[in-house]
Protein backbone atom coordinates (compact mmCIF):
# COMPACT_ATOMS: atom_id res chain seq x y z
CA UNK A 1 0.00 0.00 0.00
CA UNK A 2 1.60 3.35 -1.05
CA UNK A 3 0.13 5.14 1.96
CA UNK A 4 1.55 2.61 4.42
CA UNK A 5 4.93 2.80 2.69
CA UNK A 6 4.99 6.59 2.94
CA UNK A 7 3.90 6.47 6.58
CA UNK A 8 6.87 4.21 7.30
CA UNK A 9 9.15 6.69 5.54
CA UNK A 10 7.59 9.51 7.59
CA UNK A 11 8.25 7.71 10.88
CA UNK A 12 11.76 6.72 9.76
CA UNK A 13 12.62 10.33 8.91
CA UNK A 14 11.50 11.50 12.32
CA UNK A 15 13.55 8.79 14.02
CA UNK A 16 16.55 10.10 12.11
CA UNK A 17 15.88 13.56 13.47
CA UNK A 18 16.27 12.23 17.01
CA UNK A 19 19.69 10.83 16.08
CA UNK A 20 21.02 14.05 14.53
CA UNK A 21 24.07 15.53 16.30
CA UNK A 22 23.47 18.07 19.02
CA UNK A 23 24.81 20.88 16.82
CA UNK A 24 21.93 20.31 14.42
CA UNK A 25 18.47 21.01 15.71
CA UNK A 26 15.13 20.10 14.23
CA UNK A 27 14.65 23.38 12.34
CA UNK A 28 18.12 23.11 10.77
CA UNK A 29 17.33 19.60 9.57
CA UNK A 30 14.02 20.65 8.07
CA UNK A 31 15.55 23.70 6.39
CA UNK A 32 17.86 21.41 4.39
CA UNK A 33 14.99 19.32 3.07
CA UNK A 34 13.41 20.39 -0.23
CA UNK A 35 10.12 22.22 0.35
CA UNK A 36 8.29 20.13 -2.24
CA UNK A 37 9.10 16.96 -0.27
CA UNK A 38 7.55 18.43 2.89
CA UNK A 39 4.45 19.48 0.96
CA UNK A 40 4.07 16.10 -0.73
CA UNK A 41 4.44 14.34 2.62
CA UNK A 42 1.74 16.42 4.30
CA UNK A 43 -0.54 15.97 1.29
CA UNK A 44 -0.75 12.27 2.17
CA UNK A 45 -2.56 13.17 5.39
CA UNK A 46 -5.04 15.60 3.82
CA UNK A 47 -8.66 14.45 4.26
CA UNK A 48 -7.70 11.03 5.62
CA UNK A 49 -8.45 9.42 8.97
CA UNK A 50 -4.86 8.14 9.27
CA UNK A 51 -3.58 9.49 12.62
CA UNK A 52 -6.41 12.06 12.62
CA UNK A 53 -7.11 13.51 16.06
CA UNK A 54 -9.95 15.90 15.21
CA UNK A 55 -13.09 15.74 13.08
CA UNK A 56 -14.87 18.78 11.68
CA UNK A 57 -18.62 18.45 11.28
CA UNK A 58 -19.88 20.56 8.38
CA UNK A 59 -23.10 20.37 6.38
CA UNK A 60 -23.94 16.96 7.82
CA UNK A 61 -20.57 15.45 6.88
CA UNK A 62 -17.32 14.93 8.78
CA UNK A 63 -13.86 15.99 7.66
CA UNK A 64 -10.79 14.48 9.38
CA UNK A 65 -7.75 16.59 10.25
CA UNK A 66 -4.61 16.69 12.37
CA UNK A 67 -4.24 19.28 15.12
CA UNK A 68 -0.46 19.49 14.75
CA UNK A 69 -0.80 20.67 11.13
CA UNK A 70 -3.66 23.05 11.90
CA UNK A 71 -1.89 24.63 14.88
CA UNK A 72 1.35 25.05 12.95
CA UNK A 73 -0.33 26.66 9.93
CA UNK A 74 -3.16 28.74 11.39
CA UNK A 75 -3.00 31.05 14.42
CA UNK A 76 -6.76 30.96 14.95
CA UNK A 77 -6.67 27.14 15.01
CA UNK A 78 -3.71 27.31 17.40
CA UNK A 79 -5.67 29.52 19.79
CA UNK A 80 -8.76 27.35 19.41
CA UNK A 81 -7.04 24.07 20.22
CA UNK A 82 -4.54 25.36 22.80
CA UNK A 83 -6.68 27.89 24.64
CA UNK A 84 -9.53 27.62 27.10
CA UNK A 85 -12.08 26.80 24.45
CA UNK A 86 -14.42 23.85 24.19
CA UNK A 87 -12.70 22.79 20.94
CA UNK A 88 -9.43 22.11 22.78
CA UNK A 89 -10.96 19.06 24.44
CA UNK A 90 -13.34 18.03 21.67
CA UNK A 91 -12.81 15.43 19.00
CA UNK A 92 -15.81 16.57 16.95
CA UNK A 93 -15.74 20.29 16.10
CA UNK A 94 -18.71 21.88 14.28
CA UNK A 95 -18.09 24.46 11.54
CA UNK A 96 -20.74 27.01 10.58
CA UNK A 97 -21.14 29.54 7.79
CA UNK A 98 -18.89 27.73 5.28
CA UNK A 99 -19.66 25.07 2.69
CA UNK A 100 -17.93 21.70 2.87
CA UNK A 101 -16.16 22.25 -0.46
CA UNK A 102 -14.81 25.62 0.64
CA UNK A 103 -13.58 24.24 3.96
CA UNK A 104 -11.87 21.34 2.19
CA UNK A 105 -10.11 23.81 -0.09
CA UNK A 106 -9.03 25.74 3.00
CA UNK A 107 -7.65 22.60 4.66
CA UNK A 108 -5.92 21.61 1.44
CA UNK A 109 -4.07 24.92 1.50
CA UNK A 110 -2.99 24.33 5.12
CA UNK A 111 -1.66 20.89 4.22
CA UNK A 112 -0.09 21.69 0.83
CA UNK A 113 0.53 25.46 0.79
CA UNK A 114 -1.29 25.68 -2.53
CA UNK A 115 -4.81 26.28 -3.78
CA UNK A 116 -6.47 26.18 -7.20
CA UNK A 117 -9.94 27.82 -7.19
CA UNK A 118 -12.19 26.65 -9.99
CA UNK A 119 -14.02 29.95 -10.38
CA UNK A 120 -14.20 33.53 -9.18
CA UNK A 121 -17.10 32.69 -6.86
CA UNK A 122 -15.19 29.79 -5.33
CA UNK A 123 -12.17 32.04 -4.82
CA UNK A 124 -14.36 34.60 -3.04
CA UNK A 125 -15.81 31.90 -0.77
CA UNK A 126 -12.28 30.73 0.03
CA UNK A 127 -11.18 34.32 0.69
CA UNK A 128 -14.03 34.69 3.19
CA UNK A 129 -12.97 31.46 4.91
CA UNK A 130 -9.34 32.64 4.99
CA UNK A 131 -10.43 35.92 6.56
CA UNK A 132 -12.44 34.03 9.18
CA UNK A 133 -9.36 32.03 10.18
CA UNK A 134 -6.93 34.93 9.62
CA UNK A 135 -4.74 33.22 7.02
CA UNK A 136 -3.57 36.34 5.20
CA UNK A 137 -1.43 34.65 2.54
CA UNK A 138 -4.40 32.60 1.35
CA UNK A 139 -6.47 35.80 1.24
CA UNK A 140 -3.88 37.40 -1.03
CA UNK A 141 -3.79 34.35 -3.29
CA UNK A 142 -7.58 34.50 -3.69
CA UNK A 143 -7.46 38.26 -4.31
CA UNK A 144 -4.87 37.77 -7.04
CA UNK A 145 -6.91 34.99 -8.65
CA UNK A 146 -10.07 37.13 -8.77
CA UNK A 147 -8.19 40.14 -10.18
CA UNK A 148 -6.42 38.03 -12.81
CA UNK A 149 -9.66 36.37 -13.93
CA UNK A 150 -11.55 39.65 -14.23
CA UNK A 151 -8.68 41.33 -16.10
CA UNK A 152 -8.66 38.53 -18.66
CA UNK A 153 -12.37 38.94 -19.47
CA UNK A 154 -13.05 40.70 -22.78
CA UNK A 155 -15.62 43.52 -22.83
CA UNK A 156 -18.22 41.32 -24.50
CA UNK A 157 -18.00 38.77 -21.68
CA UNK A 158 -18.14 41.48 -19.01
CA UNK A 159 -21.32 42.78 -20.62
CA UNK A 160 -23.07 39.41 -20.80
CA UNK A 161 -21.84 37.71 -17.62
CA UNK A 162 -24.25 37.07 -14.75
CA UNK A 163 -21.39 37.53 -12.29
CA UNK A 164 -22.04 40.62 -10.15
CA UNK A 165 -18.84 42.61 -9.69
CA UNK A 166 -20.73 44.96 -7.36
CA UNK A 167 -21.56 42.00 -5.10
CA UNK A 168 -17.89 40.99 -5.14
CA UNK A 169 -17.02 44.54 -4.10
CA UNK A 170 -19.49 44.45 -1.21
CA UNK A 171 -18.16 41.11 0.03
CA UNK A 172 -14.55 42.26 -0.27
CA UNK A 173 -15.31 45.34 1.82
CA UNK A 174 -17.27 43.40 4.43
CA UNK A 175 -14.44 40.89 4.88
CA UNK A 176 -11.67 43.51 5.13
CA UNK A 177 -10.11 42.77 1.75
CA UNK A 178 -8.92 46.33 1.14
CA UNK A 179 -6.65 45.47 -1.78
CA UNK A 180 -9.42 43.71 -3.70
CA UNK A 181 -12.15 46.25 -2.87
CA UNK A 182 -9.98 49.17 -4.03
CA UNK A 183 -9.10 47.35 -7.23
CA UNK A 184 -12.75 46.49 -7.93
CA UNK A 185 -13.74 50.15 -7.56
CA UNK A 186 -11.14 51.13 -10.15
CA UNK A 187 -12.21 48.23 -12.36
CA UNK A 188 -15.84 49.39 -12.33
CA UNK A 189 -14.76 52.97 -13.00
CA UNK A 190 -12.49 51.88 -15.88
CA UNK A 191 -15.38 49.97 -17.48
CA UNK A 192 -18.03 52.55 -16.67
CA UNK A 193 -20.15 52.15 -19.80
CA UNK A 194 -20.53 48.42 -19.13
CA UNK A 195 -21.27 48.46 -15.40
CA UNK A 196 -23.43 51.58 -15.34
CA UNK A 197 -25.98 49.71 -17.47
CA UNK A 198 -26.26 46.79 -15.04
CA UNK A 199 -29.07 46.73 -12.41
CA UNK A 200 -26.63 46.11 -9.52
CA UNK A 201 -24.96 49.45 -10.24
CA UNK A 202 -27.78 51.00 -8.18
CA UNK A 203 -26.64 48.98 -5.16
CA UNK A 204 -23.43 51.00 -4.85
CA UNK A 205 -23.21 53.39 -1.93
CA UNK A 206 -23.20 57.15 -2.46
CA UNK A 207 -19.49 57.26 -1.59
CA UNK A 208 -18.68 54.48 -4.07
CA UNK A 209 -20.68 56.10 -6.86
CA UNK A 210 -19.00 59.45 -6.26
CA UNK A 211 -15.59 57.78 -6.51
CA UNK A 212 -16.58 55.97 -9.71
CA UNK A 213 -17.98 59.14 -11.29
CA UNK A 214 -14.78 60.97 -10.46
CA UNK A 215 -12.49 58.28 -11.93
CA UNK A 216 -14.73 56.89 -14.68
CA UNK A 217 -13.55 56.15 -18.17
CA UNK A 218 -14.64 57.35 -20.58
CA UNK A 219 -15.21 60.54 -18.61
CA UNK A 220 -18.36 62.60 -19.11
CA UNK A 221 -16.24 65.45 -20.51
CA UNK A 222 -14.67 63.14 -23.08
CA UNK A 223 -18.08 61.85 -24.21
CA UNK A 224 -19.46 65.38 -24.42
CA UNK A 225 -16.55 66.60 -26.52
CA UNK A 226 -16.78 63.52 -28.73
CA UNK A 227 -20.48 64.19 -29.33
CA UNK A 228 -19.81 67.83 -30.13
CA UNK A 229 -17.07 66.88 -32.57
CA UNK A 230 -19.26 64.34 -34.37
CA UNK A 231 -22.11 66.85 -34.60
CA UNK A 232 -19.72 69.42 -36.03
CA UNK A 233 -18.41 66.99 -38.63
CA UNK A 234 -21.94 65.98 -39.57
CA UNK A 235 -23.26 69.56 -39.78
CA UNK A 236 -20.38 70.87 -41.91
CA UNK A 237 -20.22 67.75 -44.03
CA UNK A 238 -16.47 68.02 -43.80
CA UNK A 239 -14.27 66.09 -46.16
CA UNK A 240 -10.61 65.34 -46.02
CA UNK A 241 -8.73 68.17 -47.78
CA UNK A 242 -6.11 65.78 -49.04
CA UNK A 243 -8.72 63.74 -50.86
pLDDT value, residue 84: 85
The rounded average pLDDT for each run of 10 residues, N- to C-terminus, in the chain (243 residues) is: 46 42 44 50 91 95 96 94 88 95 96 92 97 96 97 94 96 96 96 94 96 88 77 70 55
Kindly list the distances between the CA atom of residue 38 and the CA atoms of 35, 54, 77, 92, 173, in Å, as whole numbers in the listed order: 5, 22, 21, 27, 35
Q: List pLDDT tens digits, range 76-86.
A: 999 999 988 88
Q: What is the pLDDT of residues 131-184, one digit of tens each?
A: 999 999 999 999 999 999 999 999 999 999 999 999 999 999 999 999 999 999
Distance CA 10, CA 240 (A): 80
Q: Where are the alpha helices (DSSP H) in 74-160?
A: 75-82, 100-112, 120-132, 136-151, 155-160
Element (H, E) at 92: strand 92-94
Amino acid sequence: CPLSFNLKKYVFNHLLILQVNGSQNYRTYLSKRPLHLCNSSLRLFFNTTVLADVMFKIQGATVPAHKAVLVARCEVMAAMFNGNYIESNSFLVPVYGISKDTFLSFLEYLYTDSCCPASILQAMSLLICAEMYQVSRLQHICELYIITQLQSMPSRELTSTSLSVVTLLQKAKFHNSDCLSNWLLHFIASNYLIFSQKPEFEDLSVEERNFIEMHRWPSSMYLRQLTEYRNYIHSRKCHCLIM
